[in-house]
Chains A and B, each alone.
Chain A
Amino acid sequence: MATAVEDRADGERQSPLSDAVVVRFAGDSGDGMQLTGGQFTLSSALAGNDFATFPDFPAEIRAPQGTLFGVSAFQINFGSSAIDTAGDAPDVLVAMNPAALKTNVPQLKPGGLIIADEGEFNDRNLAKAKYDANPLEDGSLAKWQLLKLNISQLTMDAVKPFGLGNKEALRCKNMWTLGLALWMFDRDRQPLVDWLNAKFAKAPDLAAANVAALNAGHAYGETAELAGPLKQHHVDPAPVAPGLYRTLTGAEGIALGLVAGAQLSKLPMFFGGYPITPASAILHHLSRLKEYDVTTFQAEDEIAAICSAIGASYGGSLGVTSSSGPGIALKGEAMGLAIMTELPLVIVNSQRGGPSTGLPTKTEQSDLYQAVYGRNGDAPMPVVAARSPGDAFECAIEAVRIAVQYMTPVMLLTDGYIANAAEPWAVPDLTTYEAFPVEFLTEVPEGGFKPYGRDEKLARPWVKPGTPDLLHRIGGIEKEVDTGHINYAPGNHQAMTDIRKAKIDGIKVLDQVVELGAEGGKLAVVGWGSTFGPIHQAVRRQRAQGADVSHIHIRHIWPLPANLGELLKSYDKVIVPEMNTGQLKTVLRDQYLVDAKPVNKVSGQPFTIAEIESAIEEALA
C-alpha cells in the first residue's frame, strides 16, 4: 500500500514492470509458503521497497498433500514507487509442486519466469494435479521461461550434515527457495539468518539446517549458469518518508486501533467473539493485550458474543464484537437492541464470500446491504469501511469515537483481503490523536434525570449501574421520549423513530475528498473498502494517458459525507467497482439519484488493475 511519499509523476508509470516486480510463491499447504512470503516481505521492507501482499490459502486446515485444492499461495508486489495492490499478474512464479503450477500458472505474465521444484513432479503428484503429461517436459509452458530445479534434492544435500530425518530435511525446502529469491532480488540475508536463529533458539540443529538451506539457495543463484533465465534484478528503494515502519495486517490494524480508541475514550474494552474465518485473528490479537485493560470473552456463539459486549457497554466498558457474514447475520437482533437502548458498541465485520458459508477464506464486499439495512425495523446504524491494514487502524478509532459520542452501535467493515494482507505502515505518533474521553452521568442533573434525555448530538446519557440516584430500566420495547419508560403510543413511536434517524443522520463525518484527479469532470470511479488499491492504480495509469477520470473513495458508508451528492453530480459519469453485485451503487443511486453504474467482480479474488482500467476505458469510450 502506498507509503511512498508520492507517486512518481503520473506519466512515468507506462510500464509498471521497470520498477515493480510481482512474485508469487505457491506450494502445498504444508510447504510453508505463507512463512516464506512473510519473510520475503520483511526483506522487501528492509530493502526500502514499497509493497503489498496477498496471501491466498485454502479453507481446509490440512488439505490432502499434492491436491489442487490444497495449494497455498502468497503474492507480493514490491517496487521503487507507490505500490497499491498485490499486483495483477506475477512476473515470477515459484511452484513447489505440480498442483501449485497448475492452479497458478494461468495468471503468470507471458514471458514470466517459472521456478519449479522438479523433484516433486513425479507420477503420483502429477496424477493428483490431474496432469496427463509432465508439463515441465511436454513444452506446454513454452510461453513462459522455465527454470526446473530439483529443490527437494538440493535442500536434502544442503542439510545433510545436520542429520535430520527425511521429512524434517524436506521442510527446509522453503528456506532454500527463499534463499534463491533473496539472491534474485539482491537482498541481504542476515536479517533472515537472525530470524531463523531466534525462531529455532531451542533447537539449534533445526536453526542451522534452515540457515544452511537458505545459504544454499542463495549460493545456487550466485553460481548458476548466467546464461539461463535466472538473473539478478535490483529494485531500488521507494522514496519513502523517513520514520519508523512495521508490517501490519488488517487484523492487527483493527486490534490496535480498537485499543487506541479505548485509550482515547478512556474506557476499558470488552471484546466478545466467536471464532470464524477471517475474523478470529482480531480475537487472537486482543486476547494477548490484558495490560491494556482489555477483557476478551470467547462466547458460546455470535449471539452471546454481541450480547455480552452490549452487557459490558451497559456496565460502562467499550463493548466490541467481531465476526464475518454468517455470524453478523446472527447478531442482527442484538444490534437492534443496542440501537433501541442507545448503547455504544463496535461491530467488526471481516467480510468473506457469501451467501451462507460461502467462501470462508476468500474476499468479497457483499455485506454492505447487511451493514446498512440488515436489521428489522427502522434501525439506522453508522457504517465505516477500511481500505487497507493501516487504514483499519484509523477506522477502528473512528468507529469507537462515533459509538461513544453518539451512543450507538457502529459497524466497521473490513474484508478477508485486508485482514490477511500485510503492508508497510508508518507507525503513527499517538500523541497526535485527539482524545475523546467519555463522561458518564454520575449525579442527577439540573431539571431531573431523564434516561432518554439528549445532548446536542442527540445522544442520551451513559449511566453505569452502581450509580446511586440514577436507577432506571432499559430494554428493547419502544421507549417514551425523555423518560425511557415503555410507551406504545403512536405519536411517541413516530417521535422516537425520527429521533433515532436524526441522531445517525447528524453524525459529523469529514467531507468527501477526491483521492486522485479533480472535482468534476468526465468520470468518477467510486470505491470503498479494499478495492482502493486497484482503483487508485488504474485511475493513476489512465490519467497518465490523459484520461479525464478521478478516484473517490468512501470511508463513511453511513451516514455518507454531506458533500458527496453534489460531488458525484459534478461528473458526467460515475462507475462503482465493487466485489459484489452492486451494493454501494444501489445506495448511491437511492441517496442521490445519480446514474452510478456498477463494475462487479465476485470471484473471491481482488480486482486487478487491468480490470478497472478497462472499465474506465469503456466508460469513457
Chain B
Amino acid sequence: MNEMTTIARPTTLKDWETDQEVRWCPGCGDYAILKAVQRTMPEIGTAPENTVFVSGIGCSSRFPYYMETYGFHTIHGRAPAFATGLKLANPELDIWIVTGDGDGLSIGGNHTMHLIRRNLDCQIMLFNNEIYGLTKGQYSPTSRVGTTSPSTPYGSVDRPAQPAAFALGAGARFVARGFDVSKELPNVLKAAHAHKGAAFIEIFQNCIVYNKDVFEDFAAPKGAEDRQLWLKQGEPMVYAKGTKGIALDAEALHLKTVDVVDGDWEAAGVIVHDVTNRSVAHMLVEMRFGEFPMALGILYDDPRPTFEADVVRQNKAAAEGKKADLQGLLKKGQTWTVTEGGPEL
C-alpha cells in the first residue's frame, strides 16, 4: 500500500478494465480473481496511474494486460526482483505482484523469499492452482502427492510446498489466504493493501482444464462453513456455524479442533484470533486440511519498517551534508599536478 496514492480521484470498476481481450480458458478461476481485484481497486481508492502490476510468466501472470494501470509482464519467476528495482526507483508507486505456484515457488522461489525477507512494500498475489497451467498441466511444487500429469504419469512423489508457511518462514509480516470465487476475497485484498510492507496472499485458483476442482473439498459452497475457518481479528476461531472451534493443546503445543456447545466457545478453550501473534500464525499456516478446516482470511498481520523506506533513509543520511561534486570526486585520492617544472603533490 502507499499513503501517497490514497487521495486519488474516485474510480469505478470500469476504470480498471483494459480493452484487451482476456485470454484465459472459459471457466478459469483467474477471471473471478481479476473481477475481485477490479472491484476492489475503487474501494481502495488508489489512482490507476500510480498502480503497477508486475508479473512473471504463467496463465496467472497474464493478469497485468487486463488491468488499466501500468503493467510489466516480465520473465518466469523474477517479478519480485523487477518490483524491487521499480519500488526503489519510485517508492510512491503502489505495486502488486502477480505470480503462480510455479512462477513464485519453483523457478522464482528464491526471489519470493528475498522479497518477503526484505519486506518490500507491495502486495504479492500467488495464484495457487497446484499445477503448471500455461505449459499444459505438469505438476507443480504445490501439487499434492500422487498428482498425475503429463510429466508424472504414475503420480508425483514429492511433497508439496505450502505457500503460506513458506512466506511466514521467510519472515513475512502479512500472510493471508483466499480463493478465486470467494466473496471475502476483496476484503483480503484490502487488508493486504492496507498493510505497509510485503503482503503475501495465497489465492487458491481453479484451473478448470488441468486441475479441475482440486479445491472443491473446502471451496465448494455446499458445506463450506464446516470446512472453512475465516479468521477475523479479535474474534474466536469458530466454524461450522459456531459449533466447532480451534483450541491450543498446551501440552503437545499444537492446535486441535474442539466442539463448541451452546455457543460457549470460551468454555471450549477456543482461541481468539490475534493477527499479530506470530506463534499462532505458524500453527495456522501448518494446519492440515482434512483434520482441520482450511484457514482463510488474514492469518497474520504485524507490520515492520519496509525495505525501501530503510534504503531511502540510509541514502539520505549518507548523503547528508555532502555535495554531489563529481569534478571534486574525480580529483580525490592519490593525485599530483604536473607543471612545466615537473610533478608535485
Interface residues of A (CB under 8 A from B): 42, 45-48, 191, 237, 240-247, 256, 259-260, 263, 268, 270, 272, 289-293, 295, 297, 299-301, 303-305, 307-317, 319, 333-334, 336-337, 341, 427-430, 464-477, 485-486
Q: How far is the CA of A544 from the CA of B185 in the complex (A)?
A: 81
Q: How far is the CA of A303 from the CA of B319 in the complex (A)?
A: 29
Residues of B within 8 A of A293 (CB): 324
Contact, CB under 8 Å: A315 / B326: no
Contact, CB under 8 Å: A245 / B89: no
Report A140 CB to chain B, min CB distance, Å.
39
Contact, CB under 8 Å: A268 / B89: yes
Is B336 an interface residue when CB atoms closer than 8 A count as contact?
yes
How many chain B residues sit at the interface, stated as a range, is: 35 or more
Residues of A within 8 A of B20 (CB): 485-486
Contact, CB under 8 Å: B315 / A242: no
Report A602 CB to chain B, min CB distance, Å.
33
Contact, CB under 8 Å: A465 / B86: yes
Contact, CB under 8 Å: B338 / A304: no
Task: Give the 9 A-B residue pairs with the shortest CB-CB distance, closest first.
Answer: A475-B73, A311-B85, A315-B89, A308-B85, A307-B81, A473-B71, A311-B82, A312-B85, A465-B70
Q: How far is the CA of A476 from the CA of B77 in the complex (A)?
A: 13
Residues of B within 8 A of A263 (CB): 324, 326
Q: How far is the CA of A244 from the CA of B339 in the complex (A)?
A: 9
Contact, CB under 8 Å: A295 / B315: yes
Contact, CB under 8 Å: B83 / A430: no
Contact, CB under 8 Å: B110 / A427: no
A428-B93 CB under 8 A given contacts A237-B343, A307-B75, A471-B48: no
A245-B338 CB under 8 A given contacts A308-B88, A427-B330: yes
Most interface-central of B47, B110, B345 (chain A CB within 10 A): B345
Contact, CB under 8 Å: A48 / B342: yes
Is B52 an interface residue when CB atoms closer than 8 A count as contact?
yes
Q: How far is the CA of A313 from the CA of B84 in the complex (A)?
A: 12
Residues of B within 8 A of A464 (CB): 90
Q: List 10 A-B residue pairs with CB atoms under 8 Å apart, sorted by A's residue number.
A: A47-B343, A48-B342, A244-B337, A311-B87, A315-B93, A316-B89, A334-B75, A430-B327, A471-B69, A474-B73
Contact, CB under 8 Å: B88 / A290: no
Report B201 CB to chain A, min CB distance, Å.
21
Closest partner residue, chain A, to B76 (CB atom): A333
Contact, CB under 8 Å: B335 / A427: yes
A45-B334 CB under 8 A given contacts A307-B85, A333-B75, A466-B93: yes
Report A255 CB to chain B, min CB distance, Å.
10
Contact, CB under 8 Å: A471 / B68: yes
Residues of A within 8 A of B84 (CB): 297, 299, 304, 308, 311
Q: How far is the CA of A268 from the CA of B90 in the complex (A)?
A: 11
Instruction: Name the contact of B72 in the complex, choosing from A428, A469, A475 (C-beta under 8 A).
Output: A475
Which residues of chain B in 287-345 are interfacial with respect to chain A, using CB atoms and an 8 Å cutoff? 311, 314-316, 318-319, 322-324, 326-327, 329-340, 342-345
Instruction: Name the contact of A317 in the complex, choosing from B89, B326, B335 (C-beta under 8 A).
Output: B89
Is B265 an interface residue when CB atoms closer than 8 A count as contact?
no
Report B223 CB to chain A, min CB distance, Å.
40
Q: How far is the CA of A310 from the CA of B323 in the complex (A)?
A: 28
Residues of B within 8 A of A317 (CB): 85, 89
Contact, CB under 8 Å: A319 / B85: yes
Instruction: Name the contact of A300 in the complex, choosing from B52, B114, B319 (C-beta under 8 A).
Output: B114
Residues of B within 8 A of A477 (CB): 73
Contact, CB under 8 Å: A290 / B315: yes
Contact, CB under 8 Å: A430 / B73: no
Q: How far is the CA of A341 from the CA of B82 in the complex (A)?
A: 13
Most interface-central of A291, A310, A468 (chain B CB within 10 A): A291
Contact, CB under 8 Å: A272 / B85: yes
Closest partner residue, chain B, to A425 (CB atom): B330
Closest partner residue, chain B, to A3 (CB atom): B338
Residues of A within 8 A of B144 (CB): none
Instruction: Name the contact of A311 in the complex, choosing from B47, B48, B81, B333 (C-beta under 8 A).
Output: B81
Instruction: Name the contact of B338 in the complex, choosing from A48, A259, A272, A316 (C-beta under 8 A).
Output: A48
Q: How far is the CA of A303 from the CA of B81 in the complex (A)?
A: 8
A246-B343 CB under 8 A given contacts A291-B322, A295-B88, A307-B78: no
Is B111 an interface residue when CB atoms closer than 8 A count as contact?
yes
Q: How far is the CA of A246 from the CA of B343 in the complex (A)?
A: 11
Contact, CB under 8 Å: B333 / A247: yes
Closest partner residue, chain A, to B57 (CB atom): A476
Is B186 an interface residue when CB atoms closer than 8 A count as contact?
no
Closest partner residue, chain B, to A463 (CB atom): B70
Q: How far is the CA of A430 from the CA of B49 in the complex (A)?
A: 37
Report B329 CB to chain A, min CB distance, Å.
7
Residues of A within 8 A of B334 (CB): 42, 45, 246-247
Contact, CB under 8 Å: A290 / B318: yes
Instruction: Name the contact of B81 in the complex, choosing from A242, A304, A471, A475 (C-beta under 8 A).
Output: A304
Most interface-central of A293, A314, A319 (chain B CB within 10 A): A314
Residues of B within 8 A of A316 (CB): 89-90
Residues of B within 8 A of A48 (CB): 338, 342-343
Contact, CB under 8 Å: B326 / A299: no
Contact, CB under 8 Å: B331 / A244: yes
Q: How far is the CA of A314 from the CA of B324 in the complex (A)?
A: 24
Interface string of B34-58 (1 = CB under 8 A from A): 0000000000000111101010010
Contact, CB under 8 Å: A45 / B343: yes
Closest partner residue, chain A, to B50 (CB atom): A466
A300-B331 CB under 8 A given contacts A244-B337, A308-B88, A475-B64: no
Residues of B within 8 A of A486 (CB): 20, 65
Is B18 an interface residue when CB atoms closer than 8 A count as contact?
yes
Report B74 CB to chain A, min CB distance, Å.
6
Most interface-central of B72, B73, B333 (chain A CB within 10 A): B72
Contact, CB under 8 Å: B70 / A471: yes
Instruction: Name the contact of A291 in the complex, choosing from B47, B323, B338, B342 (C-beta under 8 A).
Output: B323
Give 11 A-B pairs besides A240-B343, A256-B326, A476-B75 with Cβ atoms closer than 8 angstroms: A46-B343, A243-B337, A304-B114, A312-B86, A313-B85, A315-B86, A315-B87, A427-B331, A464-B90, A465-B52, A475-B64
Report A248 CB to chain B, min CB distance, Å.
8
Instruction: Name the contact of B330 in the complex, choosing from A304, A313, A430 (C-beta under 8 A).
Output: A430
Is B92 an interface residue when CB atoms closer than 8 A count as contact?
yes
Contact, CB under 8 Å: B110 / A300: yes
Contact, CB under 8 Å: B326 / A473: no
Contact, CB under 8 Å: B74 / A304: no
Closest partner residue, chain B, to A321 (CB atom): B85
Q: How far is the CA of A313 from the CA of B70 in the complex (A)?
A: 14
Contact, CB under 8 Å: A270 / B88: yes
Residues of B within 8 A of A427 (CB): 330-331, 335
Residues of A within 8 A of B331 (CB): 244, 246, 427
Residues of B within 8 A of A291 (CB): 318-319, 322-324
Closest partner residue, chain B, to A426 (CB atom): B338
Q: How far is the CA of A323 from the CA of B84 in the complex (A)?
A: 19
Residues of A within 8 A of B86 (CB): 311-312, 314-315, 465
Most interface-central of B81, B85, B326, B335 (chain A CB within 10 A): B85
Report A333 CB to chain B, min CB distance, Å.
5
Closest partner residue, chain B, to A341 (CB atom): B72
Which residues of chain B in 108-148 are interfacial with respect to chain A, using CB atoms and an 8 Å cutoff? 110-111, 113-114
Interface string of B189-232 (1 = CB under 8 A from A): 00000000000000000000000000000000000000000000
Instruction: Name the contact of B311 in the complex, choosing from A295, A473, A474 (C-beta under 8 A).
Output: A295
Contact, CB under 8 Å: A310 / B330: no
Contact, CB under 8 Å: A308 / B81: yes
A337-B75 CB under 8 A given contacts A308-B82, A465-B93: yes
